[in-house]
Amino acid sequence: MDFKDKVILVTGSSRGIGAEIAQSFAKEGALVVVNYLQSEEAAEKVVTACKNSGGDAWSIKADVTSEGAVRGMVEEILLEAGKIDVVVNNAFKPYIFDPDKRKLVWELTWEDYQAHIDGSLRSTHNVCQAVLQNMRKRNQGSIINMVSNLVARPIIPYHEYTTAKTALVGYSRNLATELGQFGIRVNCVAPGLVYPTDASRQTKEEVKEMILTQTPLRRIASPEDVAGPVLFLASDWSRFMTGQTIYVDGGLVM
């Protein structure tokens, strides 16, 4: 895939899956904007890795749950690069996937749900609203929203996380319907358990074994497994795809 002269914004890309996605775009010649919230040091390491991979990159700190911060970030990108070709909405509220420590449904408050809706749906909405004017003006663009295979198969009921990601799928389909006339495509990538990441590090071996034995490809995904489908959806190879959710979980959902 050739992303030379393409400008890619990846939110929440200072670590984990986001960092791998950013570096994968850079390997294909893209200019990558590494968005982060907390660790400038981690973000700069990703920037360096992107540059060493053959692309270009710079980092921008912005809280994607803040409309004003997102608007400022996008304005800076447009000032420096003139356009945004692809957005990967990867940032989400930190969550630890531990079945023994999750809140049971009768323990949850609406505030628990709201926090994840803000972290997934609100943040994505803020970014989409900020980039749409430029994409519509250019009559092209690709938006990829990161969700989860739990929306189709909640093998462990992480209620607040999965509810927010399910809402994001619906949001994405509505965007795809509205924006197709402007040449803008909107799709979702839904990984299963990805190891190792900060969110999955505490996953117990028995849980990994349970998922592995039910997965036709008989292994757990790595961040590299997720990056490929994201690049595919960003590329012209998927130019007639929109409103889709691609499950990247070795066949656990089919």
- 158 has catalytic annotation: no
The full length of the chain comes to 254
Among all chains, which residue has been given the structure tokens 């034995």? 213
User: Which residues, at least 6 apart from 13, have a Cβ–Cβ distance to it below 8 Å?
Assistant: 19, 21, 22, 32, 34, 35, 36, 43, 46, 88, 90
Instruction: Please state at what angle helix 110-117 crosses helix 159-179, rounded to 10 degrees.
Output: 40
Phi and psi, residue 89, nearest 5°: -85, 90
Contact present, 233 and 142 (Cβ < 8 Å) = yes
Closest CA to 95 of 153, 189, 12, 179: 12
Choice among 36, 158, 161, 247 that is catalytic:
161
Give me the active site residues, please. 161
